[in-house]
Amino acid sequence: MIRFLQTPGPIKKVVFGGLLVLLSLAMLVYLIPGGMLGSDTPATGVVATVAGQQVTSAEVEHQGQQLLRQQFPKGGEQAAMLQPYFYGQAAQQLISQQALVAEAKRLGLSVTDAEVADELQHGAYSATFFPNGQFIGQEQYQELLQNADLTIPQFEGQVKNQILIDKLRNLISASALVTDADVQKDFENKNTKVKFDYAYFTKDDIEKSLHPADAELQAFYQQNKARYANSIPETRKLQYVVVNADKVAAQISISQDDLERYYEDHRDEYRVPDRVNVRHILIKTPLPGADGKVDQKGAEAARQKAEDILKQLKSGGNFAALAKKYSQDPGSAANGGSLGWIVKGQTVPEFEKAAFSLAKGETSGVVQSSYGFHIIHVDDKQNAHVKSLDEVKDQITSAIRQQQGTQAADTEARAIVAQARSSSLSQAAAAKGLQVVTTDFVGRTDSLPGIGSAPQFMDTVFNENVKAPADEAQIPQGFVVFQVLDDKPPASPTFEQIRARVETDFKDQRATALLQQKTQELADRAKSEHDLKKAAKALGAQVKNSDFVLPGGQVPELGSLTGPAAIAFSLQPGQISGPIDNGNVGAVLSILQRQEPTTQEFAAKKDETRQALLENKQSEIFNVFVSNLRDQMEKSGAIKINQNEYKSLTRMQSGDEGE
């Protein structure tokens, strides 16, 4: 389906990211999870059915992992903890995408192969598959998608769905309207500047002035005991042995028989289809008009131009030079018309038939396709064949070594488990020449010697019974055989143990209350006296003045004026605000000047403002449509959600089993 007219966008990131963008288009608002369990609940392994189409648990996990890698490319403990959340996000996105696709089809919308080709040519994937305008080849195309855990039909199906959803969005949001009054009001709101004095107190300064006595802290501790219950986390003492799969694999000898057996078992993976290395010159035909008809004079002029170029080639003209000069395919013209290697099924039929009928070094006549008129030259040609064992030997050796290394490490770990259960872990490790690690008491988030940070392994450890027989778990490095020697359950600290935290909490709570009280007093006094500076001096507040600032601008101490301080833009010169609290600072404003945008500034930005407003309104309309669509489809039973499957995917590892 990748057509020869595609042009250039980043590699695995674009494949992952582009698909996530496609799903995001269907999720302009976060759609409410849920759905109703009907009597015909989707089967096990299926999270939902949408208009008869299944959303499987495997698809949700795959999409959830992509979302997770986008946010946490390095993985880690936080990523592992948030995995259920991302699975929930993925489930909702996939359900919503299916709902939108189903609705688009119900309304009679469709997508042609030519539209998919055009999207791949001009969309987010062009630079990935056609760097510098040249196709990377069918093998690399397939390999990139495999790296993203996708097949070619899956990926191209996603692209088709993206186009379908875009069509639906354009249809639904076409009613969006923006008036001149809307544009002017929005521009004025975003471009009016204000200048003001502000008096403020900081929470930090108030906290520094607090010196609570032990009696106050003791009373606070007693009143808030529930807050500190079991705040000392559970810890466990472990003993373990690591069986490193890479070290085991390095000792494995791979025979010629192993290579040949693997090669025969995976022969299909090394097949290379018939392919030709081609370049072309394209002269485009006019696009159909509103009536669906093509301008015949324009089409004939294009044909004549192609014929003239063919004459130049037959007279000895250089194909690459003429392609650079005349070809109207922007993806290949700069490269002398080169499209690189193509295989059958990759280009439009007319082009394919001509290209594969030519011998190496031959040039075609004028070939017409849906894009226009082509002249095709074959630089090289290869018949279908299977790569030889010698060509893929290194690749096979690496695969066998990894496979056998993992199996051998698992076997060795199992042997250690068996011996440890009959004698001891120390003796079992010694027999294998491995080192036993005995830890002090460690928590769930601690890093372990020889293992590092391993959230999944620690979950296993903390779900194991204390002093249970030795057991085995898999880790990124291989396998680990472990025992839980002792356990310290969660505990509630005494006042003495937690005094520092109690004091911090006490000061935070008291300072917050005092900040609100003092700021309110400042506002009341400033308004009654019509003088902010005088009130600030009497109450010990600091006073500063701002420059002219726009909405969303930054002011020291106050931060962004998109928050509580945005009240400044609704006040007139001479007016004093009420108390403004951003959490760490309490302030009161006195407006000095207000500066409206000029007519010239509005004229310069009018079209840009209108477009932004229109896009926002279109998004709002589509958001409402999507939300209503989900609601209607769930109520009608067109969407059926398997709550057991959904909860299984989105349940945290611990803490919600009792829900």
**What is the reported pLDDT for 485?**
97
Sheet holding 478-488, edge to edge: 437-442, 235-244, 478-488, 471-475
pLDDT of residue 416 exceeding 70: yes
pLDDT digits (tens, 9 = 90+) for 559-599: 999 889 999 999 999 999 999 998 899 999 999 999 999 99
Average pLDDT over residues 36-54: 74
Q: Is 288 exposed, middle or buried (0-12, 13-18, 19+ CB in 10 A)?
A: exposed
Q: CA–CA separation, 406 vs 524, rounded Å?
A: 73
Domain positions in the chain are 12-176+618-650, 193-231+497-595, 235-250+403-488, 274-383
Confidence band, pLDDT 50/70/90 cuts, at residue 133: low
Domain 235-250+403-488 has CATH 3.40.50: no
CATH assignment of 12-176+618-650, among 1.10.760, 1.10.4030, 2.60.40, 1.10.287: 1.10.4030
479: three-class secondary structure by DSSP: strand
pLDDT of residue 15 exceeding 60: no
Query: Do the domains 235-250+403-488 and 274-383 sit in the same CATH topology, yes or no?
Result: yes
Strand 585-595, strand 193-202: pairing: antiparallel
pLDDT of residue 120 exceeding 80: no
Query: Comparing 32-41, 178-187, 288-297, 382-391, which segment has the lowest mean pLDDT?
Result: 32-41
**What is the reported pLDDT for 43?**
73
Within 13 Å of residue 426, how many CA atoms lie on the same side as its CB?
Answer: 3
**What is the reported pLDDT for 5?**
36
> Where is pLDDT greater, at 203 or 129?
203
Expressed in percent and rounded to 5, the helix, strand and coil fractions of the chain are: 50, 20, 30
Note whether 139 and 342 are within 8 A (CB). Answer: no
pLDDT digits (tens, 9 = 90+) for 294-304: 788 888 999 99
pLDDT digits (tens, 9 = 90+) for 201-210: 999 999 999 9
> Where is pLDDT greater, at 32 or 120?
120
Domain 274-383 has CATH 3.10.50.40: yes
CA angle 481/484/471 to nearest 5° reads: 30
Query: Comparing 191-200, 233-242, 341-350, 513-522, which segment has the lowest mean pLDDT?
Result: 341-350
pLDDT of residue 76 exceeding 60: yes
Average pLDDT over residues 611-639: 93
